A = this chain, B = another copy of it.
């Protein structure tokens, strides 16, 4: 069923039908109703491909996500989705399913250059109006820079020479440190991500700045590297708590690891939060259900998604000379593993 057929049945020209459908042009009410009638009867739907070809405006937003099963990514995408809905855009999504392919060996992402380039090719071929790259880890994506002029925005992570919308690791880590100090602690422990991880560095720097400002330090022995997983953090927590002067407050850089700390603490019969305060990161579902519920950092995932999508269209209007970087603030959610 094409517009031509509708025109034939309604006894009008193709142009008229198009005007009716789009509310453009000037059409008498009589004809308008008649055409709409036929459209309804025949269950006609316009071919958006053809329409887009002609108008050269695809209304499609391309999204590349490293792993859709990562909750933080999924939530970010809901922000993008809502922007799309509100602005009549469609999203064309590709999932790299990175986790099931390379596990936690994030350095291996370089092997995926070609894959990423191929996906970008496909999206651009589909005439997307811009591309959002959703990842929760800082990446070296310099290889995709050359050769395209479409808006490209990183969401959830940071990379030089890219537009990005991400969240404020440093300041929230600073708040955590400050909060620990206000609660009277003097010895602190940190369980970070893998040593190379850039977000770990950012968080660490914010945290230590808070301590330093009040004259506290964080000796190397009080900093352990985990691999973002439960088990590694549990092990690290045992090490920290076995120190001669063990920390009384631990900042674990994600919720899964905080849960590991919690488990170790339980096993050592430590009362939480009286004997040990714990703060996690991400506000993952599980953090609400631990015993006691985990104090953690809420990242503005939804807003990041929405802002990033909006940013694509800002970039289409005017190409700024510098890369724009939006850094949204996080919130500390006080739950059961810290005294207020």
Contacts and interface: CB of A to CB of B under 8 A. Distances in A.
Interface of A: 43, 45-50, 52-53, 58, 68-69, 71, 74-75, 77-78, 81-82, 90-95, 97, 100, 121-122, 124-127, 147-148, 230, 256, 259-260, 263, 266, 285-286, 288-289, 291
Query: Which of A46, A74, A94 has the most B CB atoms < 10 Å from its CB?
Result: A74
B48 A289 contact: no
A43 to B, nearest CB: 5
B92 A92 contact: yes
Contacts of A97: 78, 81-82
A156 to B, nearest CB: 14
Contacts of A286: 285-286, 289
B81 A95 contact: yes
This chain: how many copies in the complex? 2
Contacts of A46: 125
A155 to B, nearest CB: 15
Nearest to A149: B43
Contacts of A49: 49, 52-53, 58, 126-127
A295 to B, nearest CB: 17
Contact of A69 (B75, B82, B122): B75
Nearest to A125: B48
Contacts of A90: 92, 94, 122, 126
A108 to B, nearest CB: 18
Contacts of A48: 122, 125-127
Given A53-B47, A93-B93, A289 B256 contact: yes
A116 to B, nearest CB: 13
A283 B123 CA distance: 34
